[in-house]
Amino acid sequence: MFKDISLSIAVGFLLILSVFILNSVSHTLFPLYFIYILIAVFLFWLFSQIGFEIASLFSTHLYIFSIFLLVLTLIIGRVTHGTIRWIPIGSFTLQPSEIVRPFLLVFFAGYLTKEKVTLKRLLKAIALLLIPAILILVQPSFSVSMITLVGFLGILLSSDFNKKYLLIVFGVLVVVIPIFWQIMVPYQRGRLLSFLNPTGDPLGAGYNSIQSTIAAGAGEFTGQGLGRGIQTQLSFLPEKQTDFIFAAVSEEMGFVGAGLMLLATFVILFRLTKFMENSTSQAARAYLSGFFLTYVVQVFIHVGMNMGIFPVTGLPFPLVSAGGSSLFATMIGLGIATGAYKKNS
């Protein structure tokens, strides 16, 4: 049924781990979250069967569909805590900025490998990238916007282009970053500034970072036990089911649980590198490169911010943090990835 057993087992383990830890720290998510998981598994299977080559035939349509969803979010999206990120669908909510990420990777993988990347073509690609990136940023969702840019960079690095063009890309970033800073809402700026001195405002901007590091260290080797974490159960740790799920796992399951969580993630990343070595085409390799880089960066930043190494950005841990849209996006991306390599080559 599933094309790669090692990857499927690792994914399955993380989903099971997710059920246990989420049921402990936020049991009100269930039984609805079981439905999200079932849908995500189906999407993983479906896109693995479709494969990258077929999906790439509709890459332009996927790009247009992505832009449509992002614009629709700003028009009919539900306003929550000053943000417009979710579209209500009955009792469910959908976050298009997460869903479109793998579709954008498919589009840019095809666009940047269809022919040699000239300066003109690169500038067109950057312009096409800035449209969804800005639409995501104004919701606002700084972290998802940045991950989208990271995926593009991963695709670009695997494409056939003059490496001197990277200076242009970095030049664009130098211009765009100050613009992003101006678009960012005050709480996002506060998160970045608190990273430099979290103890400067321990009850305000630095609170989340301080509490997450306490929780991560409190579990020691075997953890305090499910449902017994002081930081998680007494709500000292904010957003424990999403942004700080690694700290929650570390506190309640200890080094053992957090280690197994990272080990399963390493297996997924290792399999993705093998897929790149045996990809079905140059475009498929570019997609895998972009998806791999976004996965690595997302995990790296999530763990880093839970340990107080990086500023709090709101990035979930793939497959473990709560969030149906993030789960769907990751499983769709992994499904396309398994369909992007030659299994017996």
Q: Over pLDDT 70: what percentage of the chain?
A: 84
pTM to 2 decimal places: 0.87
CB crowding 284-312: b at 16 or more within 10 Å, else e: bbbbbbbbbbbbebbbebbbebbbbebbb
Cα–Cα distance, 282 to 113 (Å, whole number):
7
**Per-residue pLDDT at 345:** 44
pLDDT, tens digit, 9 for 90 and up, residues 282-296: 999 999 999 999 999
Cα–Cα distance, 103 to 125 (Å, whole number):
15
Q: Do the strands 83-89 and 78-80 form a parallel or antiparallel pair, or are they unpaired?
A: antiparallel
Q: State in Å, rounded, how far the first CA of the chain is from the last one.
A: 19
Say if residues 184 and 140 touch (Cβ distance below 8 Å).
Answer: yes
Question: Which of 181-185, 249-253, 338-342 has the lowest average pLDDT?
Answer: 181-185
DSSP 313: -
In 3-state terms, what secondary structure has residue 86? strand
Cα–Cα distance, 295 to 308 (Å, whole number):
20
Mean pLDDT within 92-100: 89
Q: Read off the tokens for 34.
A: 């079981």
Mean pLDDT within 237-256: 86
What is each CA distance from 63 to 111, 132, 150, 242, in whole angstroms? Answer: 11, 9, 17, 28
**Per-residue pLDDT at 205:** 47
Give me the chain's average pLDDT, please: 84
Q: Is the pLDDT of residue 79 over 80?
A: no
Q: Is the pLDDT of residue 192 over 80?
A: no
pLDDT, tens digit, 9 for 90 and up, residues 211-245: 777 776 777 788 788 878 777 776 667 777 888 89
Q: What strands, in cross-sheet order, belong to the sheet with 78-80?
A: 78-80, 83-89, 92-94
**Per-residue pLDDT at 25:** 86
What is each CA distance from 60 to 104, 144, 150, in whole angstroms? Answer: 9, 21, 20
* Other beta carbons less than 10 A from residue 160's beta carbon: 11
Longest Cα separation, the chain? 58
Cα–Cα distance, 146 to 116 (Å, whole number):
26
* Other beta carbons less than 10 A from residue 84's beta carbon: 17
Q: Over pLDDT 90: what percentage of the chain?
A: 43
pLDDT, tens digit, 9 for 90 and up, residues 15-67: 999 999 999 988 888 888 999 999 999 999 999 999 899 999 999 999 999 99
Mean pLDDT within 318-343: 91
Rg of the chain's alpha carbons, rounded to an integer?
A: 20
Mean pLDDT within 318-332: 93
Mean pLDDT within 314-338: 93
If we measure between CA atoms, which residue out of 316, 322, 287, 83 comes closest to residue 184?
83
Q: Is the pLDDT of residue 204 over 80?
A: no
Confidence of residue 143 (pLDDT cuts 50, 70, 90): confident
Question: Which of 123-137, 202-216, 274-288 has the lowest average pLDDT?
Answer: 202-216
Residue 84 has φ and ψ, to the nearest 5°, of -125, 85
